[in-house]
Amino acid sequence: MEKPSLLHQFIRLLLVTAGVYLSFRYLLPLIFPFLLAYILIRMLYPAMIYLHKRWKLPRFLSHYGTLFCFFSAVTGILLTIFWKISTQLRLFFSNFPVYRQLLNAAFCRQTERFCHCIDYYLSLEEGTVLSFLEEQLCSFEQNGRNMITSKAGKALVNCISGSFQFFAMLLILIISMLLLVKEIEPLHETYRNSSFFTPIHSVLVRLKESGLTYLKTEGIILLINWLACSLGLFLIHNPYFFLLGMGIAVFDAFPVLGSGFIFIPWAIIEFFSRDYYSAAILITTYLVTLFVREFLEAKLLGKGMGLNPFFMIAAIFIGIELFGVTGIFLGPLAIVLIQAILAL
């Protein structure tokens, strides 16, 4: 068989890439709750079959009992996390006036010193730069207030709309899982008898192996780093250790950035403040998160997906540019899907 020309391969690559992008952009948000419901049922189905065949439980009890335990466990974990985060958020907002006052005082002291130096070296009248800066800051503050006031209503509407969409998707997810419990076997039989079974199955197997490896690795890294950051902040008696630990762990998932952008400057400030204990804990926490990410990504992610680390970073960056935060996951998955389709 004659090898396709370079132009033909390039056009095929462009078409497949465009198809994957359009599917992720427009089709995935529509089918996501149903897709997630199917994935969760596939994960729980072996336990359902085990309870039915090994323990001789009725199919209704084994299947729906497993679902009930799963829903109860997930609800308990999410409520615990939500309670902890909301508690620390309430504490932060109650202390916010104090933080703002301290920050303003520190900012004013440093600004006055900086402006005094500029006045001295430029031979200006004392207070010239400070007066100019105060005028600009007042104008900036007023413009900021006007912008926030004008966009507050729109932000509230978006928040209510987003909450409604979230709970609607959650309801659809639960209903889909309840329906799939008794429909998954006929669904598999219909899929196997389809004329599209061979090509679709080939793509899905590759996507399952590589995609699940990526999601599992990133999930493990995120969880471990969340616990490590929270523990480190707890040891320095930070009252927002759980909330900040989660934020730093999420920030660490972005390419190039990492937790060092937060921990290293923080540790330097603590060191020059002569709080050597806090500085040592912060540096140690950063090294732990760095080791966890480098070790697990090297051992699990690169081998599982078969992607060069350079292309992995490029895929994550492009995914973020195209899809936002979810691009951390969608970017590499898109590369794997494109490779699988081109391999047909």
Query: What pLDDT is attached to residue 309?
Result: 65
Query: What pLDDT is attached to residue 189?
Result: 85
pLDDT value at 202 more than 80? yes
Distance of CA 196 to the CA centre of its chain: 34
Q: Which of 196-200, 262-266, 298-302 has the lowest mean pLDDT?
A: 298-302
Query: What pLDDT is attached to residue 134?
Result: 80
User: For the purposes of burial, counting CB atoms within 10 Å of the CB of 309, is it exposed (0-12), middle (13-18) or buried (19 or more)?
Assistant: exposed
Mind listing the pLDDT tens digit for each residue in 240-288? 999 999 999 988 877 667 888 899 999 998 998 889 999 999 999 999 9
Mind listing the pLDDT tens digit for each residue in 137-168? 788 877 877 777 777 677 778 888 888 888 99
Q: Which of 124-128, 130-134, 264-268, 295-299 has the lowest mean pLDDT?
A: 295-299
Task: Evaluate the CA torsion angle 311, 317, 323, 325 in order and state its sign.
Answer: positive
pLDDT class of 184 with cuts at 50, 70, 90: confident
User: Quick one: which of 313, 260, 256 has its CA closest to 283?
Assistant: 260
Average confidence (pLDDT) over 284-312: 75
Half-sphere CA count of 54, side-chain side, radius 13 A: 6
User: Quick one: which of 245, 251, 254 has its CA closest to 224?
Assistant: 245
Query: What pLDDT is attached to residue 172?
Result: 95
| H-helix segments, 193-240 | 197-235
Find out whether 336 and 207 touch, Cβ atoms under 8 Å. Answer: yes
Mind listing the pLDDT tens digit for each residue in 87-120? 998 998 899 888 888 888 888 888 888 888 888 8
Query: What pLDDT is attached to residue 105?
Result: 86
**Rounded Cα gap, residues 123 and 115, in angstroms:** 12
pLDDT value at 336 more than 80? yes
Q: Where do we find the tokens 């095929």?
A: 12
Q: Which of 244-258, 295-309, 328-342 has the lowest mean pLDDT?
A: 295-309
Percent of the chain with pLDDT over 90: 36
Q: Which two tokens stand for residue 89?
A: 């958020």
**Rounded Cα gap, residues 51 and 64, in angstroms:** 11
